[in-house]
């Protein structure tokens, strides 16, 4: 039997378990509030928790009586019939199932408070003691123990079930006391924060800016204090030491400045905030302290210059082990570690210490780095042994039939001893290169190029002659190998002599097709000796020039600048339309002759300029002047074969010939008459050496003249190749006239008075 609280089952779903879901309840079976089989004891679905006692405050208000403890009788209407046996003909538990309430999972009202209803609820046994239930075959009604003892017995059967207990009133009292204590502590904290809050316009005690205590000062006072100390130290030098040297440096030299305003603002923020919170912050600052480092600026250029100056003094590069010669003796110089200024770290130390307001008594050490050498003395033992062997005896050099003796004293300066990280021994250095060049001059024979010999109108090739030269690279290796042989009789070096071919070989010269005369032209020349010298000099400079097919010949490129270093002399020249003297006078005699040779060969003329004044001994309209590097004479070899330019200088004539493969071209030219423009101006000059009225003409002068030359060039088949017209304009030259001075008039004699 069970004393069960709740409403009876009804016909609707919300009233509980329907009849179709009902079944017989076995003796001793436990049901929950919804009529389902109860989960007793510890259930895995509940995480192993023991079943809870049923709390009536989770029931609807009309069936709640404040809760019934286990083993106690309540006053609800079902208690009066709880101990009665079930009527005959009914299934056990049918009445109880009808009376079970349905409290669906959800929220129900408990007074003014919404309660989340738990799905699992405390259950009570629906039957009596085991074996004491009434059955139809046993008409004798059983006797039941009191409900309270029956419930205690059934609860003991449920292992791990903890009966419901009310929360004692002492817990509530403890909670109230704890809440009160918390309020007291909060109030005490607020009071403590207000006590230590201080004024928000002052800096918290315990704050230091760059080591200076500014606690309790106003912001403006702290800023003025820091700026005053910094100004006092700006011109005072601070001693820095590195590498045994001392360097006094002042902050003003590097432009070191600290932002004291920002530093003071940062110090103010160390103990700032809402009053109670500010008090705790200031209390922490006063206990633990706070140090503010100001931001610092520096002139980068001045800092780098100072670091370079210090580094030049203290830096010492690492020295590798090397071999040193003392005469013919080889000495091993040991290695030495180097030291360099750590510029990255040193720059930070310089700025930090110069910006600091506290000056140390001792010099500030700047950091340095140690550099290790790459080669040490043990690595040069083999090279030292070889060097001593090389200088132990002379070396015999053989070049054909010529022999040389290389003594140890002469060999010593030729050796490139190990240094600067090397460990090898060889024959090198500038002294060795100069010695090899001198040795090659005794051995070598320069080659001779193939040339072209002219015989009348025919040309034949003069064969080339190969030369010989010393292979300097192999010679250095051969000499070094001989110097490292131990028996003195084996210290012999056969110098490598190789053939030096000519630049223009015989086969190459014959393939050029230079076999006959293409054109030739002769001009007469004369004048002062300097002019004749210049004509002969320029003729030699252009003689023998070879012009490749399709190439352009340039007179200025062939001769180069006309300078005194090349042998040019001062002679008459035309400058700005006037006849004067200058370096290289007479060059135009050769350029005019070359132009006419190309003119008669039918070549394409690409650049030609007439003289400023008309020169009668040149062909009319076919003169060509040059002036390095602007005014030039140029023509193109369009014959399809090589051309050879030769000059032949006589006592009073110059001949320029072009040799190659005759093309059969026909050249026709027409020269326009010389036309004068205007009158000749007279330029008088009084000559006191002349008699009065005497007149001498030094230069008759000429008016301005113009002319033109037309040339038509035809191929051997009659095809017109070139049609050119060259116009020439010559400036007027004045008549130069010298006259004697005028006669002086005699003073008039006054008539005698009378």
Measure CA 344 to chain center: 20
| pLDDT at 87 > cutoff 70 | no
What whole-number distance in Å separates Cα of residue 114 and Cα of residue 108? 6
What whole-number distance in Å separates Cα of residue 324 and Cα of residue 326? 7
Residues forming a β-bridge with 656: 521, 647
- Residues near 415 by beta carbon (within 8 Å), at least 6 away in sequence: 325, 387, 390, 391, 425, 426, 427, 428, 429, 432
Residue spans of beta strands (DSSP E) within 514-599:
516-524, 545-547, 552-554, 570-575, 578-583
Tokens of 701: 């002068």
Half-sphere exposure of 614 (CA within 13 A, CB side): 23
Query: CA separation (Å) from 194 to 201, 275, 288?
Result: 15, 6, 19
Residue 284 or residue 431, greater confidence: 431
Quick one: average pLDDT of 732-747? 80
What whole-number distance in Å separates Cα of residue 47 and Cα of residue 395? 105
Percent composition of the chain: helix, strand, coil (DSSP 3-state, to 5): 30, 25, 45
The greatest distance separating any two alpha carbons of the chain, rounded to the nearest whole angstrom, comes to 220
> Which range, of 38-52, 201-215, 479-493, averages the lowest pLDDT?
38-52
Quick one: average pLDDT of 626-646? 95
| pLDDT at 141 > cutoff 60 | no
CA nearest 597: which of 521, 704, 692?
A: 521
Q: How would you class 415 by CB atoms within 10 Å of its CB: exposed for 0-12, middle for 13-18, buried for 19 or more?
A: buried
What whole-number distance in Å separates Cα of residue 75 and Cα of residue 68? 9
- What's the confidence (pLDDT) of residue 509? 94
Tokens of 276: 């109670």
Q: What DSSP state is assigned to residue 484?
A: T
Whole-prediction pTM:
0.52
Quick one: average pLDDT of 629-650? 95
Residues forming a β-bridge with 499: 468
| pLDDT at 242 > cutoff 60 | yes
Residue pair 292/223 in contact (Cβ under 8 Å)? The answer is no
What rounded mean pLDDT belongs to the chain?
Answer: 80
**Percent of the chain residues past pLDDT 90, beyond the cut:** 41
Tokens of 501: 């071919």
What is the gyration radius of the CA atoms in the chain, in angstroms? Answer: 64
| pLDDT at 83 > cutoff 60 | no
Query: CA separation (Å) from 623 to 620, 727, 732?
Result: 7, 11, 17
Cα torsion angle, 156, 158, 162, 165, sign: negative
Residue pair 336/319 in contact (Cβ under 8 Å)? The answer is yes
Residue 267 or residue 387, greater confidence: 387
- Residues near 36 by beta carbon (within 8 Å), at least 6 away in sequence: 17
- Residues near 479 by beta carbon (within 8 Å), at least 6 away in sequence: 395, 397, 406, 427, 493
Query: CA separation (Å) from 725 to 521, 625, 668, 684?
Result: 20, 17, 12, 39
Tokens of 191: 């009071």
Neighbour tally for 350: CB within 10 Å: 24
What whole-number distance in Å separates Cα of residue 398 and Cα of residue 404? 6
| pLDDT at 72 > cutoff 80 | no
- Residues near 537 by beta carbon (within 8 Å), at least 6 away in sequence: 566, 567, 568
Residue 335 or residue 50, greater confidence: 335
Measure CA 571 to chain center: 61
**Percent of the chain residues past pLDDT 70, beyond the cut:** 73
Residue 418: pLDDT band (50, 70, 90) is: confident
Over residues 154-181, the pLDDT tens digits come to 555 554 444 444 556 788 888 888 888 8
Tell me the domain boundaries of the chain.
1-166, 198-374, 380-508, 512-739
CA nearest 607: which of 626, 633, 588, 630?
A: 633
> Which range, of 100-104, 561-565, 591-595, 700-704, averages the lowest pLDDT?
100-104
Tokens of 726: 């060259």
| pLDDT at 396 > cutoff 90 | yes
Quick one: average pLDDT of 580-592? 90
What whole-number distance in Å separates Cα of residue 355 and Cα of residue 105? 76
The torsion angles phi and psi of 451, rounded to 5 degrees, stand at -125, 170
- What's the confidence (pLDDT) of residue 154? 56
What whole-number distance in Å separates Cα of residue 267 and Cα of residue 202? 10
Query: CA separation (Å) from 140 to 143, 150, 206?
Result: 9, 20, 96
- What's the confidence (pLDDT) of residue 15? 47
What whole-number distance in Å separates Cα of residue 231 and Cα of residue 237? 13
Over residues 201-240, the pLDDT tens digits come to 777 777 888 888 887 788 888 888 888 888 888 889 999 9
Residue 267: pLDDT band (50, 70, 90) is: confident
- What's the confidence (pLDDT) of residue 554? 97
Residue 103: pLDDT band (50, 70, 90) is: very low
Residue 241 or residue 739, greater confidence: 241
The torsion angles phi and psi of 176, rounded to 5 degrees, stand at -65, -40
Residue pair 105/34 in contact (Cβ under 8 Å)? The answer is no
Residue spans of beta strands (DSSP E) within 243-351:
245-249, 257-258, 290-292, 296-297, 322-326, 329-333, 338-341
| pLDDT at 432 > cutoff 50 | yes
Residues forming a β-bridge with 728: 707
What whole-number distance in Å separates Cα of residue 84 and Cα of residue 95? 11
Q: Enumerate helices (H) and strands (E) in the chain, giving the number of each.
A: 17, 39
| Assigned CATH class of 380-508 | alpha beta
Residue pair 51/161 in contact (Cβ under 8 Å)? The answer is yes
| pLDDT at 605 > cutoff 50 | yes
What whole-number distance in Å separates Cα of residue 115 and Cα of residue 436? 114
- What's the confidence (pLDDT) of residue 684? 86
| pLDDT at 345 > cutoff 90 | yes
What whole-number distance in Å separates Cα of residue 121 and Cα of residue 107? 15
What whole-number distance in Å separates Cα of residue 353 and Cα of residue 355? 5
């Amino acid at each position: 039997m069970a004393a069960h609280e709740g409403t009876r089952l009804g016909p609707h779903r919300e009233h509980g378990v329907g009849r179709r879901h009902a079944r017989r309840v076995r003796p001793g079976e436990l049901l929950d509030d919804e009529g389902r089989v109860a989960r007793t004891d510890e259930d895995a679905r509940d995480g192993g928790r023991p079943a809870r006692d049923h709390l009536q405050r989770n029931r609807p208000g009309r069936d709640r009586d404040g809760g019934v403890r286990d083993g106690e009788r309540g006053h609800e209407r079902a208690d009066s019939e709880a101990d009665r046996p079930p009527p005959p003909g009914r299934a056990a538990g049918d009445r109880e199932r009808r009376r079970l309430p349905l409290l669906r999972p959800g929220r129900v009202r408990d007074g003014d408070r919404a309660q989340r209803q738990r799905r699992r609820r405390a259950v009570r046994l629906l039957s009596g003691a085991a074996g004491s239930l009434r059955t139809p075959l046993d008409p004798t009604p059983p006797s039941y123990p009191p409900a309270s003892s029956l419930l205690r017995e059934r609860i003991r059967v449920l292992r791990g079930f903890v009966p419901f207990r009310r929360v004692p009133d002492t817990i509530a009292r403890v909670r109230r006391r704890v809440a009160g204590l918390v309020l007291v502590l909060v109030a005490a904290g607020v009071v403590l924060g207000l006590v230590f809050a201080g004024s928000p316009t002052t800096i918290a005690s315990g704050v230091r800016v760059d080591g200076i205590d500014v606690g309790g000062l106003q912001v403006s006072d702290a800023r003025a204090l820091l700026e005053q100390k910094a100004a006092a130290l700006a011109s005072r030098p601070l001693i820095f030491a590195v590498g045994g040297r001392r360097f006094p440096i002042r902050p003003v030299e590097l432009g070191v400045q600290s932002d004291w305003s920002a530093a003071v603002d940062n110090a103010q923020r160390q103990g700032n905030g809402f009053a109670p919170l500010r008090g705790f912050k200031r209390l922490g600052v006063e206990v633990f302290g706070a140090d503010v480092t100001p931001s610092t600026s520096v002139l980068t250029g001045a800092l780098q210059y100072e670091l370079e100056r210090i580094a030049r003094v203290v830096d010492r590069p690492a020295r590798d082990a090397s071999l040193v010669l003392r005469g013919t003796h080889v000495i091993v110089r040991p290695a030495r570690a180097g030291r360099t200024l750590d510029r990255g770290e040193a720059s930070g130390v310089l700025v930090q210490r110069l910006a600091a307001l506290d000056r140390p008594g001792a010099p500030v050490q700047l950091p340095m780095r140690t550099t290790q050498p790459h080669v040490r003395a043990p690595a040069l033992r083999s090279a030292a042994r070889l060097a001593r062997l090389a200088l132990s005896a002379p070396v015999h050099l053989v070049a054909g039939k010529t022999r040389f003796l290389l003594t140890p004293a002469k060999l010593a300066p030729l050796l490139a001893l190990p240094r600067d990280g090397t460990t090898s021994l060889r024959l090198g250095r500038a002294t060795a290169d100069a010695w090899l060049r001198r040795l090659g001059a005794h051995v070598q024979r320069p080659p001779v190029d193939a040339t072209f010999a002219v015989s009348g109108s025919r040309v034949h090739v003069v064969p080339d002659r190969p030369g010989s030269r010393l292979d300097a690279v192999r010679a250095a290796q051969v000499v070094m190998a001989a110097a490292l042989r131990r028996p003195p009789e084996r210290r012999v070096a056969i110098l490598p002599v190789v053939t030096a071919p000519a630049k223009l070989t015989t086969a190459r010269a014959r393939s050029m097709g230079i076999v006959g005369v293409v054109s030739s032209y002769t001009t007469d020349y004369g004048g002062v000796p300097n002019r004749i010298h210049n004509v002969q000099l320029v003729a030699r400079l252009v003689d023998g020039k070879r012009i490749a097919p399709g190439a352009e010949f340039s007179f200025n490129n062939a001769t180069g600048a006309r300078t005194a270093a090349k042998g040019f002399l001062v002679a008459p020249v035309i400058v700005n339309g006037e006849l004067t003297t200058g370096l290289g006078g007479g060059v135009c005699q050769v350029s005019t002759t070359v132009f006419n040779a190309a003119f008669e060969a039918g070549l394409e003329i690409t650049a030609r300029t007439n003289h400023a004044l008309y020169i009668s001994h040149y062909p009319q309209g076919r003169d060509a002047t040059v002036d390095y590097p602007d005014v030039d004479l140029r023509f193109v070899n369009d014959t399809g074969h090589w051309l050879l330019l030769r000059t032949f200088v006589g006592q009073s004539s110059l001949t320029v010939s072009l040799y190659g493969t005759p093309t059969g071209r026909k050249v026709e030219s027409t020269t326009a008459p010389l036309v004068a423009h205007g009158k000749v101006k007279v330029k008088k000059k009084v000559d006191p050496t002349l008699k009065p009225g005497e007149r001498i003409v030094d230069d008759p002068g000429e008016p301005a003249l113009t002319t033109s030359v037309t040339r038509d060039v035809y191929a051997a088949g009659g095809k017109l190749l070139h049609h050119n017209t060259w116009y020439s304009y010559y400036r007027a030259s004045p008549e130069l006239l010298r006259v004697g001075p005028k006669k002086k008039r005699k003073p008039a004699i006054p008539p005698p008075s009378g």
